[in-house]
Amino acid sequence: MKSPLRQIRLKGGYTTNILFECDEFLLANKPAGLPVHETKDPNRKDFTRLLASYLHIPDLRTVNRLDLGTSGIVILGKTQDKNKEIDSLLKEAEKEYIFLCLGIPDWKEKRFECFIRDGKKEVKIVRSGGKKAITEFQILSTFPEKKLSFGMAKILTGRRHQIRVMLRELGFAVLGDPVYSESESASKEQRMYLHSFRLCFTDFQGKKQWVETEIPSEFSDRVGKILSV
């Protein structure tokens, strides 16, 4: 695991770690509950503009987009002339997320393939007319007394809400998911428990980079035990 290059405090009290940085792009840890990029409300704070302002990089561009409630690794391009190369780097990268989900699956590992169709608020799994989505799930720990499980998801495609809709389909929705969880207590949770944890990619010098974050403290706080991957 790479140690963060530096921790910085953004406007609004948000904290982030710069996990990796080179001349063309950087990787930073987005907090949960903060939009990753500009929304329709120009006055609403977002991660990319806050970081661009702090680092004085006006052309900073979000490469991968995390949902509002999802925390973790975001790639941000620093120069416009490398957009295509950075997009290609992301497409070829290995991406792993960690999550807390409702219930205890009767499996430890599962590969889930389906077709997903975009909607306005949510996506739907369909038999035809959608885009292929593949995720490999692994359950790392279970907490029967809390009826929760801790797991990892490796996404082999990058569809919107992919992990969230798949876990709901399997019957184990992400804890605190305001869209795909049918639990009435979802809105009472501190956050949505989905985190972009690890990214493995080949940089522009041909060197393989393995970057990961710490497990957010809210995950361990929620189950009352220290979690590890």
Per-residue pLDDT reduced to its tens digit, 89-133? 999 999 999 999 999 999 999 999 999 999 888 999 999 889 999
Domains of the chain (ranges; CATH) run 1-92 (3.30.2350.10), 94-199 (3.30.2350.10)
Contact status, residue 199 vs residue 192, Cβ threshold 8 Å: no
pLDDT digits (tens, 9 = 90+) for 195-207: 999 999 999 999 9
DSSP state of 198: E
The mean of the pLDDT values for the chain is 93
Report in angstroms the alpha-carbon separations of 212 from 27, 87, 109, 222, 228: 10, 19, 21, 21, 13
Q: pLDDT for 66-79, tens place per residue?
A: 999 999 999 999 98
**pTM, full prediction:** 0.94
